[in-house]
Amino acid sequence: MPRIFGTDGVRGLANGHLTAELALDLSVAAARVLADRGEFEGHRPRAVVGRDTRISGQFLEHAVVAGLASAGVDVLLLEVLPTPGVAFMTQALDADLGVVISASHNPMPDNGIKFLARGGLKLDDAVERDIEKHLDEPWERPLGGAVGRVTPYATAVQEYVDHLVGTLARPLAGIKVVLDCAHGAAYDAGPQALRAAGAEVIAICADPDGLNINDGCGSTHLGPLRAAVVEHGADAGFALDGDADRCLAVDHTGADVDGDQIMAILAVGMSESGHLPKNTVVATVMSNLGFVQAMRAAGIGVRQTKVGDRYVLEAMRVSGYGLGGEQSGHVIMSEYATTGDGTLTALHVLERMAVSGQTLQSLAAVMTRLPQVLINVPDVDKRRANDDPVVAAAVAEEEAALGDSGRVLLRPSGTEDLVRVMVEATTADDARAVAERLADVVKRQLSL
């Protein structure tokens, strides 16, 4: 059976690939699989359902709720709430299942469905595979009082905001910040949390109309944030994505601060205060070499994983690490959250500014980003990327020439017939020259 679930749930064009019928079937199958696994034993099962601001989320929400209730699951409707907020409420309400209806940073026409296990954690791959196997199967439906109840849960935003603010050790009084909400799921909770923490907040792109989520704003389009920070003389700015599980930042001059720099700021602060478990941070292989060098200089270990927040979270859970994330701004602070949380990240970067008395620009200078060049080489046999001796020899030669001042990463795409060639070096010209030479070798050796 072809996979329906991707790396972050089921995602696609709403009412195209992702239909109401599929949403209903997925919810029924999820309820049946969890019941078969004994997750509902001894009690009435309960789920929480939240969504972002896409207009398609309304009909998909109804379909998901109908499926769950028809399978005997009581449902609490959280309505518009960030993905990390749904994860928090899944845990806080001891729900058996959480459902997020969102396509994160994707364009508005897309949408997605993501299931969360008890405790607010992502479902295991094996459970997702079981759900796929149970789609469209005949089943014995509950009747009478055994069907699920559907109840609005009106205090979800306030409870989530209270949780976020409660993670801080000191107020953010005296800090002016711009928050770009991407017209997304945190348009209400994000500004509320920062204001409740004591910051002066200018909220932009916080007027969702169902159609404008991620449209020229948010973490994928930093232009509006840069302009607003400079215009308002703010100390910093943060841009969330559509479901607010990630954020990127700009300093008071409008200069970008990426996910690696954000992690470096938090890691150094946590290490200095003795709150960085095992004095180690988890990052992916795509993190800038400058991040690894900065952590080494600060005496902090770096555990690197494959690309994807699920691999970062898995390494954190298995080894007991407390901080991890990606260059994209998906930062996980496991003491407070089970997934990336853009608003939580912004709060703790601002707290670091308040505690240290330093600007965001000064804190970000803890690491120097090496120029990074990425070339996608299409129409090649990606399966041989790591085995071809000529490619391997070319990579080894370039790595030897770069030494400790750069690195090379060849990564087959997970979804397309292409190989990604990423090179970091002390100058952009050097990085591009190496990347182009290696891309030529890959194209010549692995062409289909």
pLDDT, tens only, 20-59: 999 999 999 999 999 999 999 999 999 999 999 999 999 9
pLDDT of residue 2: 67
- The one-letter amino acid code at 442 reads V
pLDDT of residue 69: 98
| CA-to-CA separations, 329 to 178, 257, 259, in angstroms, rounded | 17, 9, 4
What average pLDDT does the segment 213-218 reach?
97
Whether the pLDDT of residue 108 is over 60: the answer is: yes
Beta strand spans in 52-162 (E): 74-80, 97-101, 110-117, 121-122, 150-152
Catalytic residue among 56, 104, 287, 328: 104
Catalytic residue flag (residue 334) = no
Whether the pLDDT of residue 176 is over 90: the answer is: yes
Q: For residue 150, what are the β-bridge partners? A: 75
- Alpha-carbon span 74 to 95, nearest angstrom: 10
> What's the residue count for the chain?
448
- Alpha-carbon span 402 to 396, nearest angstrom: 10
What average pLDDT does the segment 176-186 reach?
98
Band the pLDDT of 308: cuts 50, 70, 90.
Answer: confident
Least confident residue range of 51-65, 202-216, 255-269, 385-399: 385-399
Whether the pLDDT of residue 356 is over 90: the answer is: yes
3-state SS track over 184-196? CCCCCHHHHHHHH
For 190-206, b where at least 16 C-beta lie within 10 A, e where not — what string? Answer: bbbbbbbbbbbbbbbbb
- Alpha-carbon span 300 to 207, nearest angstrom: 41
Write the pLDDT tens digit of every residue in 148-158: 999 999 999 99
Question: Do 218 and 185 form a contact (C-beta atoms < 8 A)?
Answer: no
Least confident residue range of 163-167, 193-197, 385-389: 385-389
Helix (H) / strand (E) containing 22: helix 20-36
pLDDT of residue 411: 87
What average pLDDT does the segment 257-285 reach?
96
Whether the pLDDT of residue 417 is over 80: the answer is: no
Torsion, CA 210, CA 211, CA 213, CA 214, rounded to 10: 180
Least confident residue range of 32-46, 170-184, 347-361, 412-426: 412-426
Question: Do 18 and 10 form a contact (C-beta atoms < 8 A)?
Answer: yes
Least confident residue range of 3-12, 247-256, 344-353: 3-12
What average pLDDT does the segment 62-75 reach?
98
pLDDT of residue 404: 86
